[in-house]
Amino acid sequence: MVRHNNQLPDNLPQLQNLIKRDPESYKEEFLQQYTHFLSVVELFRLTPAENNKQFDDLIMFIAQVAHCYPEDLKTFPQLLMDLLQAHNTVLDPAIRMALCRGLILLRNKNLLAPTDLLSLFFQLLRCQDKNLRTFLETHIITDIKNVNAKHKNVKLNKTLQNFMYSMLRDNNSKAAKMSLDIMIELYKKNIWNDTKTVNVISTACFSKVTKVMVAALKFFLSSDSNEKDSDDSDSSDDEPNAKEVMMANKVNKKTRKRSKQLEKVKKLVTKAQKKKSQAPSFNFSALQLIHDPQDFAEKLFKQLESTNERFEVKLMHLDVISRLIGLHDLILLNFYPYVQRYLQPHQREVTRLLQFAAQASHELVPPDCLEPLLRTLVNNFVTERNSSDVIAIGLNAVREICARCPLVMTVDLLGDLTQYKTYRDKSVMMAARSLIGIYRNIAPEMLHKKDRGRPTEATIDLKLKQFGEVIPKDTIPGAEVLLEEKKTDNEEEMNSDDDSDSDGWEDVSHSSDEGDEAASGSENEEDENKTGDMETEETKEAETPDKSAKAKEIVLDRLLTDEDFKRIEIANIKKQVQIVKKGEKRKLEAENNSPLVKLADIENIYKKRKHDKQTRIESVRKGQEGRDKFGYKDGRVNEFCSKTNREKQKKKNFQMIRHKARGKVKRSFKDKQIALRNHLLHLKKMK
């Protein structure tokens, strides 16, 4: 028997290993295998639908060692691409996957241009092979990510974006859906996060394929929470803290009133720090990159009016439109009557519809257009025939709408709604009080006098802006606190100069008529004090405009440091709790409300939620820890001695002690009357 020691032509993995170690020594064996591959290709062209394991192995072998013989394999990548383009619909799935894997190996070895390969793979997304489409999607995303790793490849990105724009309009729904998923994934990975990508995705919102349209709408409804996490880690050292507020108030005399005021300031500072430290709940940068948001919103609303899709798809349309209106302050007057007809307590997903109505409200919307919606909301929700939860949700929705468009509320309607502040249910009471709190900071004059609260420096001169009115700002609110700092510095300098000039000498009076002068001086002091008090009141009134002018000069003439901004922010926080004094009036700047509404703000009901049985049992067990065992305590010294009749009675059958238990029942008033009558009759007979 002849032993064949050279088994390389039949053992491709061994030959592949040897070629990678020494390409020149095994070039002849490689060329033999490549010639064999070309002959197999000719046979394959005759029957492309059949599975050929040998053809599969040859493709992977040549692709693995292609970098060792680049001159001999110049046409090999194009050959594989031609086979895929010509027979992609009839190829066996295993052969088609092998050809794609071979091309990916060549691409990883930089033997193939990314543009040609990615264009081919996008065309292969039309194949009826789910595994292949998933495999190609992963590779496309990874390849584009690697190409843009060090720097943006603008030319490649532009070419692929144009190609994918045409793929979104492809007749094959699966190819269009997969292309859209790839673009969305690239945007989320911060690779294609430019304006062109967002506007290409926006065209998919008008696709005739429901899956493509829904995927595009979901993209605009998702948030970019994972984007640039490292860049968002700002240090909290620049924020004012409670210690600085305490130091600012430390020089004053300690009173109960000041201590309460300081506690309020601490709570406000803590709340502000928590709010700023939290990640933003809504970060819709995609909606902000739309070229023409007004036209986009109008087209979406027109599509919504004529669509026959499911109710969930209509809700997506309403959500995107409301966010566009809120973010860009758009005017779409037909949107509010459309939402108004759905505002019923029994309507499905009614809380989300209330959220959309609040999101689409802003100061530029005419109050006449929003007033019918608000009236419908109040009439259908805030009424005694509804449950307390429905009333609370209605009041929460009214609050969110009025916070963004205060002019929609009338004095009479606000007076009716504030009456719920004494409602028997806590959730309704808290919702009504939150509405009162909104108008305390926006327009206190619309509230009843007893609902306005104690006026603070921030709210004393507050007025509701009229529709379309804009109040320009010429300075930073709260910059007056820098004047006080400058004043104290000047006083310290003057005191130091006076001390240096005196040199320890004191003025001594040598006049003999000291008594007469003192007597006449005391009479004049009273008149001077009276006139002085009148002058100080006049000077206070005159200093107010001068003070604001000087504050404006400070802001314009100097560069404010971080310490200055800290002091200004502390002063603005103190204004919200500082009780106003006579002669001192300050304005409160309107707070910038978020254009997007959280669903939890509308569904916020103040009540204890019911727990399941297991949670209640765990809560009971936790409360019993470290507590003595409840029940009757055995007072016997020796636990083996006999028990009392009372203890034994607890273990007896009820029928045995029924006659004794009956005697312990308290007699009724009628039984007492009968007993008293019988007793009196008995006494009468005895006589």
**Mean pLDDT across the chain, nearest whole number?**
78
In this model, does residue 667 exceed pLDDT 50?
A: yes
CA-to-CA distance for 178 and 450, rounded, in angstroms?
62
- Which of 136-140, 151-155, 463-467, 529-533 is least confident? 529-533
User: What are 79's strand-pairing partners?
Assistant: none
| Nearest residue to 208 via CA among 137, 115, 303 | 303
CA angle 586, 403, 398 (to 5 degrees): 140
CA-to-CA distance for 507 and 496, rounded, in angstroms?
19
CA angle 488, 490, 496 (to 5 degrees): 105
The pLDDT assigned to 250 comes to: 65
CA-to-CA distance for 321 and 294, rounded, in angstroms?
10
The pLDDT assigned to 45 comes to: 87
The pLDDT assigned to 300 comes to: 95
Q: What is the 3-state secondary structure (H, E, C) of 432-481?
A: HHHHHHHHHHHCHHHCCHHHCCCCECCCCCCCCCCCCCCCCCCCCCCCCH
Altogether, the residues listed in the chain come to a count of: 687
Percentage of the chain beyond pLDDT 90 is 26
**What's the token pair of residue 685?**
């007979």
In this model, does residue 586 exceed pLDDT 50?
A: no
Q: Among all chains, which residue has been given the structure tokens 């700023």?
A: 276
Q: Enumerate residues 6+ apart whose C-beta is below 8 A from 399.
A: 431, 434, 435, 438
The pLDDT assigned to 190 comes to: 85
Q: Give the 3-state secondary structure of residue 579.
A: strand
| Nearest residue to 320 via CA among 341, 342, 293 | 293
CA distances from residue 590 to 127, 330, 433, 462, 602 in whole angstroms, order as listed: 58, 21, 20, 9, 22
- Using CB atoms within 10 Å of the CB of residue 172, give its burial: 0 to 12 exposed, 13 to 18 middle, 19+ buried: middle
- Which of 147-156, 308-317, 492-501, 635-644 is least confident? 492-501
pLDDT digits (tens, 9 = 90+) for 17-56: 888 888 888 888 889 889 999 999 988 888 888 888 888 8
Q: At what angle do helices 514-557 and 481-502 cross, to 10 degrees?
A: 140
| Nearest residue to 119 via CA among 92, 144, 90, 149 | 144
Give me the amino acid identity at 246: M
The pLDDT assigned to 461 comes to: 58
The pLDDT assigned to 598 comes to: 86
- The enclosing H or E element of 28 equals helix 27-46
CA distances from residue 686 to 676, 679, 682 in whole angstroms, order as listed: 15, 11, 6
Q: What is the largest CA-CA distance in the chain?
A: 150
Q: Give the 3-state secondary structure of residue 459.
A: coil
Q: Give the 3-state secondary structure of residue 576.
A: coil
pTM of the entire predicted model: 0.65
